[in-house]
Amino acid sequence: MMALREAFASFRRAPLLSALGVVTIAFSLFAFGLFGLVAVNIRDALQKIEDRVEIRAFIADGTPVEASSAAMGDIQAFPEVLSVKYVSQDDALVRARKELGEFSDVFEPGVLPASLDIKLKPGNRDPSTVMAVANRVKSYDFVDDVRYGEDWVAKLYRLRTIATLVGTGLGLAFAAVAVIIIGATIRIMVMARAKEIAIMRLVGATNGFIRMPFVLEGFIQGVMGGLLALGLTWATSTAISHSFMRTAFFDPTLATLGVVGGALIGLFGSTFAVGRQLRRL
Amino acid sequence: MSLVRFLNVAKEYQRGGVALSHASFILHKGEFAFLTGPSGSGKSTILKLIYMEERPTAGDVWVSGVSTREASKKEVSMIRRHLGIVFQDFRLLEDRTAEANIAFALEVTGTPADMIRPRVARVLTQVGLASKGTAYPRELSGGEQQRIAIARALVNDPYVLIADEPTGNLDERATRGVFQLLREINVAGTAVIMATHNLELIRRTDYRTLELNHGRVVFDSAETPPAERPVPSAPAVAPVDHDGNPI
């Protein structure tokens, strides 16, 4: 109880120092949050493109409907497959005319073949899986040809791998910088109260008792800094959405994780800093 | 009964060299002892060994029967609750009132909240500053600040008060007042061990004196027959109040 009271009292006694702690945590996490925002939007964009990966199996003319229906059941049972849709010759014509716009009269009825449009489950859209499924589909006698945009699937996958690697690397670097800056600030704050710590020890306070108010203070500053960073990131995201382009924001889980992250950095940062100070005394 | 016992104690700092060697003495309950000697002679080292900021390199120090060589961190904290420590630079927290500075020593040792206020009031009265409880250290004179520091040291009812040059930053009058307070504390039963350069204070009283030089105890008045002790060169002065004024 005394530890909690002391933790709050230090905000009152040294408001500038406490504000410095909160603002440092907030801006460090804000920088990390902006990076996270970019990463989330790139991930969403790639996800949208990836959702369009599909295998189109063209069905030979004169194939009985029963044969293609039976095959649809088989293909639907493949573990990699999300959905299979039968596109008749008429449907194919409608779709082509819609996609080609002013050249819609290029195709005559009956020219375009019927097809099975196969979508794959997330996690099964890498080039090798797509090719393996396409080859299995191709083995049906009535399948004339199979298309799945080999080139762009490979490119998309490469782009995704690069984005993940760069994102993870940059994310770790941003996180490390944030932790270092926050850690240094907390250390300065603890050092500014070295006299208080020394007196506490001399009058017989145990190390655990001395640590507790600092740890709580670090935790509270971390939560406040995390919330401030979240607010700033949200305001930035909203401003970009209104002025330039629609952007995605963190889902509630990620947003909560950000605040929890701030709280943990504050908590562990002060635990480490006060422990170091206690060893020095 | 021995409160503090040094047995053949040596202290060597990694960078500072030998600070103390072959130091042996016993401080008894209710005793008042001066530690004197030139700067760097080992006075503060002896005090630090008593309040366990330092541990001996050789020999052993017992405080309240506990060997400081073997004391755990928890034991050190518990022993310190029965030691009052006063420094030349007062070491008060500038952002807290006199009352809060004293209460701090009780709060951090887990004293129940309802016991803090009366105990703070009692020691403030004891040091003669009952009316200055709400003042901040910067609003107090040096002598008053030192008396608040002494009040903080007293509030846990220590067995022994350790004073490291408590009058070093004070003028003549404040020195007399603070010294008078330490004498009263001793009369009330608390042992006092005080490091000082102020030979005038030593000469005025017949308290035990340990003189140090180059880390060695070169003179202990307790081991010297009274006839062989140096004759005080200054006459005893009239009693004074806590402000150093003659009564």
Residue A104 has pLDDT above 80, yes or no: no
Please give the average pLDDT of every successive group of 10 residues along chain B, which has 247 residues: 90 89 93 94 94 94 91 91 93 93 89 93 93 96 94 93 93 90 93 93 91 93 68 52 69
Model pTM above 0.90: no
Q: Does B156 touch chain A (CB under 8 A)?
A: yes
Round the average pLDDT of chain A to a whole number and report it. 85
pLDDT for B211 equals 95
- Chain A residues whose beta carbon lies within 8 Å of the beta carbon of residue B53: 202, 281
ipTM of model: 0.80
Closest chain B CA to residue A209: B108
pLDDT for B239 equals 65
Length, in residues, of chain A: 281
Residue A45 has pLDDT above 90, yes or no: no
pLDDT for B127 equals 92
Would you state the structure tokens that stand for residue A167, as one six-digit string? Answer: 């994102």
Flag if A203 and B109 touch (Cβ within 8 Å): yes
Smallest CA–CA separation between A187 and chain B, in Å? 19
pLDDT for A281 equals 63
pLDDT for B246 equals 67
- Residue in A2, A195, A204 nearest the CB of B93: A195
- Residue in B96, B104, B108 nearest the CB of A209: B108
**Of B202, B242, B208, nearest in space to B224 by CA:** B208
Flag if B107 and A2 touch (Cβ within 8 Å): yes
Closest chain A CA to residue B89: A195
Closest chain B CA to residue A13: B95
Smallest CA–CA separation between A242 and chain B, in Å? 48
Model confidence over A122-148: pLDDT tens digits? Answer: 888 888 888 899 999 888 888 888 988
Residue A70 has pLDDT above 80, yes or no: yes
What is the H or E stretch that residue B164 is in? Answer: strand B160-164
- Chain B residues whose beta carbon lies within 8 Å of the beta carbon of residue A209: 108, 110
Model confidence over A54-67: pLDDT tens digits? Answer: 899 998 888 888 88
Cβ atoms within 10 Å, residue B191: 20
